[in-house]
Each structure stands twice: as structure tokens, then as C-alpha cells.
Structure 1
Amino acid sequence: MSDRTNEKEIVSDDGSPRNASPNDLDPEKLNDPKMRKLAGEITYADETDPVNTQHNPLAQKLRSRHMQMIAIGGSIGAGLFVGSGSALRTGGPGSVLLGFIITGFMLLCTMQALGELTVLYPVNGAFYTYIVRFVDPSLGFAVTWDYAIGWLTVLPFELTAASITIEYWRDDIHVSVWITVFLVFLCLVQIFGVLGYGEVEFVLSMMKILACVGFIIFGIVVDCGGVSSDDRGYIGARYWHDPGAFRNGFKGFCTVFVTAAFAFGGTELVSLAAAEAADPHRSLPKATRQVFWRIATFYVLSLFIVGLIVPSDSPDLLGASGANTKASPFVLAIKYAGVKGLPSVMNAVITISVISVANSCTYGSSRTMQALAARGMGPRFLMYVDKQGRPLWCIVIQLLFGCLAYIGEANASDTIFTWLLSLSALSFLFLWGSINLAHIREYAHGFTKHQLPYQAAFGIWGSYIGVALNLLAIIATFYTSLFPVGSSPDAETFFEQYLAAPIVIALYLGWKAYTRDWKLFIRSSEMDVTMGIRRGSLEIAAEKGRSSWTKALRIFI
């Protein structure tokens, strides 16, 4: 370890860097037991993180452009393009728009909190590490394993969905052939390690972004009656009046949250990628700020357009799910406009999007399982990382789970897939709530603004809002699972939607019993706030010279 790792770099009043001294901290803070660790040695993440020093470290090959695309378009997939159809039919366009705005703001608060934590601690495992350090090891164990299991079970579903999209052009080739093709493609991507993941996501995300922008422009033209082949003429807000903006009342609105969470799921992967980024303290803040544009443009605006030009009572929306791309409201919007050829283009976009999410599944689960194992919360063989920085055994397990896609040929395939997806339905909400809680608990140790390389735009209050909104979304999903729209309460229906909750509770209590640690939270005096910290506060020092409105713009650009 070099001598520089024992220095704290700050900026003088004249803008020149200098080494910190004890006088740079508030004397009262130095006497505070909570702050004594902060006044001591602060080192680089890649030099002290135990995950990165056991066996071989993960390769740090992701560039800024990779991080930008992972943040902007990495998780745009079947949840948006197809799953939104079921939410539109059940809740109506008003419920979809309002539900996605609320969930989007919740995610924006979460990503700002996660950005602050990750720039300060760009370590392997990211959010898992923060929950374990600042909240409770049992909670970190439970929500992170639930998150990893969620990605494991989503992969076969995405492979099946991608294969079904091919039937749009070639229904004479068996689905299992395409499943094999996509599995082989994922295996080839893994050969190139994290760089392969980054390059594939960069290209596919660029295509998805262009498709979303093109659809928004097309939708505006259709709504204004500018397509000659569409006999509906000017549409305007017609479908908001008939069949109506809100279907099935409050219950219909509550059904949107789980769909929105699934559609937004994967945004947090940019935090996992920080441990394999070449320059995380510069690329991650930029990537975090891009989340706002993805939420505002590619989700909220595109779904608003869909709600204008696709009636929510359309029988074609029946069965809209991740594996039934024919019911995609985006495809239906083009089909109803009567434009030949474009439905095929949109179907190709959905195919690309689903493959992209399958690629993210492999990355998300493998890095999460490796981090869990490296800290003693998983089988030891999973911590192995080869010389190219690939967690091989974790990748093998994920790809083996992908083989479950072949059960699509079984008689009870729909039931099997429904139960598999129930394992991941709430995993994102549990994780996002825990991330916000970790951010709140971080401040319990006494961090000050000048010690943070990047500050969350909404501060600690944004995390309080994030926790509250996550709890409301979980309660709303519980309500609609117990009392589903259009049917009476049923145990099977309930667990199909809410199975992740008892699994998280079982994992949480199981780890509590195993460790015999029954404390609800880690005491602030016991928090490890120095291991893997990223030193330097150049960005915050530069912000001090900017005007208030410029600082406000930095939330988004």
C-alpha cells in the first residue's frame, strides 16, 4: 500500500489540493467517539476491501460510457414494453401514469442515496455491503439473497420471452432452438468478462433508447391524427374519458406498483458495476444523475403516450405479460395506427430488450452471490474469481438456472413460470427500501458534507421519503394480492404475488438464529465507516463556487 493511501486530499480556499490536518475537522467532532474513525486512516476501496483481496480481484474495466448506458437504458425491457399492458388494462392510463411517477420518484430518491454511498464506498457487493454495515447483517443477508434469487428465476423467463418474440417472423422453428441460441450467446458474453457485459449493454441500450424516442415521436403524430392509415383521426385524450382514466378504482391503482417495480428493476445494477469501473468517483455521479432522464422520458412520457393511443379496455391487452409480446401496448399502438412494417420493428426492439435484461440477470446475480459468499453469507466456492476477474461458479449457476426455460414445453409451464416469478415480484421493493434505510443509518455515525465525494440531491430526507414510499408500495401489493381485482380472496393467488415476503422473513429470522444476534440495528459506535472508503472531496469543493441554480441543475445533468 502506498503512502498516499494514508492521506486525505481536500481543496484549499484558492482551489489547490492539499493534505488534510486534524484542524480541518470541527474540534467538537474530533472529540465525538462516533467521529474518531473518520479522523483516522482513509484508504482506497480496491486496497482494503476484503472481497477484492481474497483470491483475485474483479476486473476494473468499465468506462464512463458503459456506466452511462447501464444507468440510462440497462433495465428497459419486457417490464416496460409488455408488462405495462396488464397494468393499463387493470388500472387504466391515469393509474399507470400516476403509479409510475410515484415509483419513479421513489427510485430517484433511492438512486441518489445509493450514488452517495457508492461513490464513498465503491466496493464489491455495493448495496449489500451498505445494508450489512449500517443497518443489520441479517437484513442484508435476507434482502440480498432474495435479490439474487430473483435474478436467478427471471433469466429463464426472459429467455422464453425472447424466443416467443421470434415466432413473430418464424413460427416454423421450435422455441427450444431459440432458447439454446440465446443461452449460447450469454455464454459467449461471459467469456469476455465484465467488459463483454459493458459493451453488449452499451450497444443494446443505445438501440432501446433510440426506439423509445422514435416511439414517442410516432405516438404524438398518431394522437394528433397525422397518420393517414389510422381511421380514428384526431384522438387527443379520448381514451381518458372513454373507457376512462382510472379503472377498478383504488384497487386498480394499487395493482400498478408491482408492475412498475418490475419495470424499473435493475436500475441499481450501476452500483454493482462501480466495483468494476475504472474511474467510479467520476463516472458514477454522472450515471446516477442520468436516472432522472430515464424515468421522465423512457418510462413516464412513453407510457403517457401509450395511454393516449391504446384504449385500456382493448381485448388485445388480455394476457399481457413478459412472455406474451403480442399483447404489448407498444406493438398494439403501432398496429392500430395501420402502419405496415413498424410492428415488426417494435417486436425486434422487444427482442433486443429482453436479451439485454437476460444479460443483466447474469451480471446482477453472479456479482451479488460472489459478494455474499466472500463475506461468509454463502457457500465458499461461490467467492472464487478467476484471473480475468470473472466469478465463474456464480456465472455457471446463473446459466444453469437459464436452462429452466426449457420447461416452457411442459403442460404446466404457465403455472411453473408464475411461481418462479413470484420469487422476484417484491425483491426490488425490499432492496430499495433497505438502501434508503442504510443511507439514513450512515448519517447516524456523524458524517459531514465535506467528507462526502458526492451528495444525494435530496439529502437524508429523500431517503425518508424513499422508505415511506417503498412501505406504501409493499402494503398496496399486499392489499391487491389478498383482494385481487375481479375475484375473491384466494391463497394461491396471494402467494403467487407475495411469495417473496415470507421468504425474506424466513431468511432474516434464520440468520438471526444462526448468529444469535437479535439486535434490530447495529449501534452507530460499532459501524465500520473506514473500510473501503474513497478519499477526496474534489467534486463537493468545486460545487461551492457555483450558484444555487447551477447546483440544482447538477441533480439532473
Structure 2
Amino acid sequence: MSEIDRKTSEEKKVFDSAESNTTTFQTTEAKIYPSESRNTFYDKSPEAEEGFFEKIVNDFKPPATGRPDGVGLKRKLKNRHMQMISIGGAIGSGLYVSSGNSLADGGAASVIINYSLTGIMMFFTIYALGEMAVAYPVAGGFNTYASRFIDPAWGFSLSWNYFINYFVTFPLELTTCAITFRFWTDINSAAWISIFLVTVIIINLLGVRAYGEVEFVLSFIKVIATLGFVILAIIIDCGGVPTDHRGYIGGSIIKHNSFRNGFKGFCSVFVAAAFSFSGTEVIGLAAAETDNPKKTLPKSVRQIFWRIALFYVVSLLMIGLLIDPEDPNLMGNQSGTSTSPFVLAIQEAKIKGLPSVFNAVIVISVISVTNTSTYTAGRTLHGMATLKHAPKLFVYTDRLGRPLIAMLVVLAFGFFAFINEANKNGNDISDTVFNWLLALTGLSNFFCWGSICLSHIIFRIAFKKQGRSLNELAFVSPMGIWGSCIGLIFNILCLMAQFYVSLFPLGGKPNANDFFQGYLAAVVAIVFFVGYKIYDRRCIPNLSQLDLDTGFHSAEFYNSFDGSENEPKKEKGVFKKTLEFFC
């Protein structure tokens, strides 16, 4: 056997192992462990005799199944968790705070157009991800698909780029949590960082179910707050607030300087809009911990439409109607939530008490992003280890299905947030450090989303080339391969816009510092790709020979799992088909 064939065989075994660790369903469990309850892998009989503290200690140990690397991730995320995560998962500081900078840079028209275009890109991308995640619900998600359908070297590069993105984001979001409290008090930021860090550590140690419950509650609050703001904004715009001296506003503000800084301002908003949607793809990672991907993932994917239409486009349209892009308060203190256009809109209407309430919502949203960052980074590192793209020790999962070692590494990096105390001496060392750390992964979202679309395109072409029918798929993206092509083109345009803004920064002249802070991630990705390619010299496999069976979960498999194969099929009307498409 040649060296290339040996590596291909080894990777197939690794993918098989990852799949068996993360996609064993209840019917399979019943055959392997007949004495266990559903959704449980380890022998529970000894636990009945364990004391409370003894059980806590033992839960960190490997399961009693003879597998030293653990049992794999647990399928603890229910339908309601996935629905709320999909709706509120990407609602955070990108919408509530950074949109203010976008408004000041490009004007209201640029904000609305670019967020709409980016939303269309995400609409196509997430549908493609949903199709693959239902067919292959494995650890690592889209990073695994990139390794399998595009190139192992690109999958390696993408995985590390994506991991570092959320790994670095964790301490940065902890810092943001502390900064939000400056709206009320000047208490030392280190105190708030400590509180939030301990909170996130506790949530993660409680397991994926705790993550799901916390995200369910926090996302619900964000959704209600955003809906409430839209209603309030309509009232303010129509002159329905007695304390607002402006009276009826209508479209008088949005018409003023709606395109600021010309084409350069438009491009800068395009990039910022894309970053605001970061985290949308997390539902693909969560597929490995969802109790029934066939039911939960399609519903979560369909919620993307409402998130784009209502929570981004409509809310930002209302911001454009209420806030002048030249408002000095909008760019007064870019590090604090006082610059949030949502809080500013309420303040300018002179509604007492409500600005503090919405600032509390921003705090909650940042906590949610922090929680998601740790979940994503830990699961990504665990997924990379299953593909041998990271040290083997990160494969370990404990008795509760937590990727313990990977999770602890991510949580430990949260203490890096305390570097902000270095600023007390009058220097900006923490800002410099964080800026360059973020520069390492500044293009991570575009690499990720573009890879999802390209993986889906290759998957579909190979599926057709091998004579397979789409009827084998449990969930089919209604946009098909053309939707992924459009999504890929949009991602390429985002990379071009980022290159232009990095080379010609807004309000400044071309310089090496701004360029590399905006485009250093591309250099890092290329280095990772080339380095792994030298190590693993396999060519891209022929589409007619591409392995589509390993880890594949067909519609027939899901039907036998949930019993729907015995249910009579009903013809769906136009209304029901339309409703299912969006809901």
C-alpha cells in the first residue's frame, strides 16, 4: 500500500471514529447498551450508589465502557434549544453596538443595503450547511466537511483559523462585558471580568444541556427586547412619545447623508455587516449534540429568514429613521455601550429608565456571545482532534460527554482578559495585543462560510456523478447548488471588500499596520494550508470516487429511527409548503 493510500485509509478510519463517537442514536444505543436509558452511553448502575460529591468527581472520569478517550459528545440539545439558538444566536454586540460605527461610516442606506445583502448570503449558506449537517451530523461540523469534500489541507487550515477566532474572542468578550458596566458605574473592570469568567466556567462545566438552557433563556430575552425596540421605535418615529421634543420624525433623518464616505464607506459597512452575522454557523457544530438532527436542524435553518428580516434589517431600518449618522454621540466613545444606536435612540427620546434596561440587554447579549465562544472553540478543538488535526489528548470526553481537556484549555485562556489592567499605567498594551490577536483570524467568517458553500457544491456534484438520488437525503436545501454558488460569490466579494478597506482604510492613507490588521488572517491561512500540504501530499480525489458513505445518515435511517417510515405520506398544499420554507 502506498503512503498516500495509507493516509487516505487512516483518515477514513478517523472519520468513522468521529462519526461513531458523535452520531449514535437511540436505536443503536439500545442494541449496544440494552440496560441503559435512551440518550445515555455509560453504565448508570454504579451511579445510583454514588454520593453527591463523589458523583461530581467521577463525572470528570472516563466512562465505564473500556474506552479511554471517552464516549463522545452527548445528544442533549432539544428542539427548543436549537430553535432559540438559531433565532437569537447571532444577536449580540455586532447588532447592538457595532452597527453604530457602521451607521457613522456609511450612512443609513449603506447599513440597510449591506445587512440585507449579507443576510441573503447567510440565507443560502446556512441552508447548504443544514443539508450537510443532517446528512453527516459529526464532530467538527463544517470543518470536517471541508477536509472531506474540498481538501484535507484546507480543512486543517480552516479548523485552526476558526478555532483561534473564538479562542481569542472569549477574553475579548469578557472585556466587553466589563466595559458595558461603565454605563452605570466606574468600578474596576477586573471585578466584572472575574464575575463573568466564573459564570462562564460554571456553565461550561455543567455540560451541553446547561449551555442549551442558558442560551435558550438569553436568546429569548434578546428576541423580546429587539421586538420591543422595533415597536418603540415606530412609536418614537410617529411622534408618540410625549418627552421627545422632535415630535413626528418620519423619514426626515434617514434622507440626510444616507451614503457617507462614498464607495469606501459602503465597503466598510459590507465588511462590518458580515462580522455581525458571526456565530450563525454554530448550529452546524451543534448537530453533533442534537438529539434528532433531522427534526431540529431544518427548523433551525428556516429561522434564519426571520432573524435576517426582522432582527437585523427591520431593527436597523428603525435605527436609520431615528439616528443621524453625524450624531457626535454615535462615535463619542467607541469602546462603550453609550455609543449603541439602540440606547442612543431611546436616550434622545428622553424616556427615563429604559436606556438602562436596554443596556442590561446588551450585557446579556455579550454574555451570550461569550458563552457561545467557549462552546464553539471547545467543540472545534475536539473536532480537530478527531481528524488528527490537533493533539490526540483533545479527543477525550468525560462521563457526561464533555470535551473536558479542550474545554479547559479554552476556559483557561479567559484569564487573558486581565491584561486590560496593563492600561492603567497609561499605555495601550492590551488594545495592541488584542488587535493583533484578532488580526490572526479577521477573515475567519468568510473562510468558514465560503468553505461551507464550496463543500456543498462539491458534495452535490459528487452525489450526482455517482448516480445517487436526492431522495436519499433527509433534508434538501431548496436553493440547491445554485444557492451555494451565490453564497460563495458573496463571500468572495466580502474578501475583496475587506482587502480594499484594509489597503485604503477609511479616514487614512495606505499603511502596513492597517493592512495587516485587516488581512493578516489570509497569510496565516495560506501558511497553515501550505504547511499541511507539504506534510500530506494527497491530491483532491476524483468526484466519482469521493467517499459519500462514511458517516452518511440517509432519510431511510432517520425514518427508521423516529418511526416516520410507517406514517402515510400526505400531499402538502402551497400554503403549508410556503410556511415550512420559512418556519
Deviation at 1:474, TM superposition (A): 0.7
1:249-290 Cα offsets, whole Å, 9 max, x none, are 111110012211221111111111111111111111111111
Please name the residue that 1:527 is paired with: 546
Q: Determine if the alignment matches structure 1 residue 48 to structure 2 residue 16.
A: no
Q: Determine if the alignment matches structure 1 residue 200 to structure 2 residue 214.
A: yes
Q: Determine if the alignment matches structure 1 residue 444 to structure 2 residue 461.
A: yes
**Aligned partners of 2:317 and 2:297: how far apart in 1?**
29
1:372 to 379, 384, 390: 384
1:508 to 529, 533, 542: 529
Does the 8 Å CA contact 1:48/1:531 hold for their aligned counterparts? no
Tell me the C-alpha RMSD between the 2 structures: 2.1
**Aligned partners of 2:243 and 2:16: how far apart in 1?**
61
2:143 to 118, 122, 128: 128
Please name the residue that 1:415 is paired with: 432
Normalised TM-score (structure 2): 0.84
Please name the residue that 1:139 is paired with: 154
Please name the residue that 1:395 is paired with: 407
Residue 235 to residue 471, structure 1, CA distance change in 2 (3 Å): same
Please name the residue that 2:320 is paired with: 307
Q: Which moved more, 1:311-320 or 1:261-270?
A: 311-320
Please name the residue that 2:36 is paired with: none
**Aligned partners of 2:546 and 2:480: how far apart in 1?**
20
Letter in 2 for 1:105: I
Residue 68 to residue 542, structure 1, CA distance change in 2 (3 Å): farther
Residue 308 to residue 47, structure 1, CA distance change in 2 (3 Å): closer
1:341-375 Cα offsets, whole Å, 9 max, x none, are 01101110000000000000000010001110111
**Aligned partners of 1:544 and 1:51: how far apart in 2?**
29
Please name the residue that 1:337 is paired with: 349
1:216 to 202, 226, 230: 230
Does the 8 Å CA contact 2:147/2:153 hold for their aligned counterparts? yes
1:168 to 177, 183, 201: 183
Please name the residue that 1:156 is paired with: 171
Letter in 2 for 1:389: G
- Matched position secondary structure for 1:389: coil
Deviation at 1:516, TM superposition (A): 2.2
Please name the residue that 2:363 is paired with: 351
Letter in 2 for 1:111: I
Deviation at 1:320, TM superposition (A): 6.2
1:131-156 Cα offsets, whole Å, 9 max, x none, are 11111111111112111100011111
1:245 to 258, 280, 288: 258
Letter in 2 for 1:534: H
Q: Which moved more, 1:307-316 or 1:523-532?
A: 523-532
**Aligned partners of 1:60 and 1:530: how far apart in 2?**
22
Does the 8 Å CA contact 1:49/1:531 hold for their aligned counterparts? no
Q: Determine if the alignment matches structure 1 residue 225 to structure 2 residue 251.
A: no
Letter in 2 for 1:533: F
1:396-416 Cα offsets, whole Å, 9 max, x none, are 111122112111122222222
**Aligned partners of 2:354 and 2:263: how far apart in 1?**
36
1:287-331 Cα offsets, whole Å, 9 max, x none, are 11111111111111111111110110111122665x421111111
Letter in 2 for 1:383: V
**Aligned partners of 2:570 and 2:262: how far apart in 1?**
48
**Aligned partners of 1:544 and 1:141: how far apart in 2?**
44
1:112-133 Cα offsets, whole Å, 9 max, x none, are 0000001111111111111111
Q: Which moved more, 1:370-379 or 1:310-319?
A: 310-319
Matches within 5 A, 1:256-295: 256-295=269-308
Please name the residue that 1:79 is paired with: 94
- Matched position secondary structure for 1:238: coil
**Aligned partners of 1:408 and 1:434: how far apart in 2?**
35
Residue 415 to residue 116, structure 1, CA distance change in 2 (3 Å): same
Does the 8 Å CA contact 2:18/2:387 hold for their aligned counterparts? no
Letter in 2 for 1:550: K
Letter in 1 for 2:573: S
**Aligned partners of 1:142 and 1:325: how far apart in 2?**
35
Please name the residue that 1:184 is paired with: 198
Letter in 2 for 1:263: S
- Matched position secondary structure for 1:554: helix
> What is the percent sequence identity of the aligned residues?
47
What stretches of structure 1 of length at least 5 have no aligned partner? 1-42
**Aligned partners of 1:496 and 1:400: how far apart in 2?**
25
What stretches of structure 2 of length at least 5 have no aligned partner? 1-14, 25-66
- Highest RCO, 1 vs 2 (Cα 8 Å, sep ≥ 6): 1
**Aligned partners of 2:481 and 2:314: how far apart in 1?**
28
Q: Which moved more, 1:430-439 or 1:158-167?
A: 158-167
**Aligned partners of 1:68 and 1:418: how far apart in 2?**
34
**Aligned partners of 1:495 and 1:217: how far apart in 2?**
42
Deviation at 1:44, TM superposition (A): 11
Does the 8 Å CA contact 1:255/1:477 hold for their aligned counterparts? yes
Please name the residue that 2:451 is paired with: 434
Letter in 2 for 1:379: P
Does the 8 Å CA contact 1:97/1:303 hold for their aligned counterparts? yes
Letter in 2 for 1:394: A
Q: How many residues align?
A: 510
Letter in 2 for 1:511: Y
Does the 8 Å CA contact 2:22/2:138 hold for their aligned counterparts? no
Letter in 2 for 1:455: V
Letter in 1 for 2:216: F
**Aligned partners of 1:356 and 1:283: how far apart in 2?**
21
**Aligned partners of 1:89 and 1:69: how far apart in 2?**
31
Letter in 1 for 2:201: C
Q: Determine if the alignment matches structure 1 residue 464 to structure 2 residue 477.
A: no
Please name the residue that 2:31 is paired with: none
Letter in 1 for 2:238: C
**Aligned partners of 2:102 and 2:569: how far apart in 1?**
42
Deviation at 1:550, TM superposition (A): 3.4
Please name the residue that 2:337 is paired with: 325
Normalised TM-score (structure 1): 0.88
Deviation at 1:549, TM superposition (A): 5.0
Deviation at 1:544, TM superposition (A): 7.6
Deviation at 1:75, TM superposition (A): 2.2
Please name the residue that 1:6 is paired with: none
Q: Which moved more, 1:399-408 or 1:247-256?
A: 399-408
